[in-house]
Amino acid sequence: MLKRRQFTTLSATALGVLALPASLLPRLAQAATVGQPAPDFTLSDTAGKPVKLSQYKGKPVVLEWNNPGCPFVRKHYNGNMQALQKEFAAKGVVWLAINSTRDDSADHMSPAQLARWMADKQASPTATLMDEAGTVGQAYAARVTPHMYIVNAQGLLVYAGAIDSIPSARVADIEKATNYVRQGLGELLAGKPLTTATSQAYGCSIKYKNAAT
């Protein structure tokens, strides 16, 4: 019985049921939609340099919502996320890791702390961006970490959802899962339509500013 309760709790978290308060739902009704232009934005990276999504038009872009305090993020930063970043950077794909954790959350990291964590993990995104106000996360209806998006070279959102098909925090499940990001990028770069354009994101609820803890 205890195991069943634990599984139920994990599943609820994985599906992001508590990701956002009801007060944000009307705003998210206008959020990014697959097949439509990806909302442009400008955020500062961990060194304070402004980065604008549209500056990468002409290249595919991955958006990865990140929070090192989340066990689902740590699962994929056991090597899986870094391998994806490296593999597709070599193919001309831009990778933007975005942290929307509010600054009074226990999970919050300063830009310097987040940069250090990414360096310690030997991660290689194109940039790691700070979204403490949560405006970009809300524009994309990002609910959990890691929530993944793919924007094509023309600036259209072509994928939104989970990194893979098994919603767990177990590293051992990575090799058994279908990696939707790898699959989607491979198809995109080959000029093919994506087999999976949307999926149910799983992970830890994003701690947005002015949201209930």
- What is the domain-level CATH number for residue 169? 3.40.30.10
Decide if 122 is inside a domain. yes
CA torsion through residues 109, 112, 116, 122, sign: positive
Decide if 210 is inside a domain. no
Decide if 197 is inside a domain. yes
Decide if 115 is inside a domain. yes
Domain extent, residue 29, equals 2-205
Decide if 213 is inside a domain. no
- pLDDT at position 32 is 87
* pLDDT, tens digit, 9 for 90 and up, residues 91-121: 999 999 999 999 999 999 999 999 999 999 9
Domain count, the chain: 1
Decide if 212 is inside a domain. no
- pLDDT at position 16 is 39
Indicate the range of 28-37, 48-57, 76-85, 166-175 predicted with least confidence: 28-37
Decide if 211 is inside a domain. no
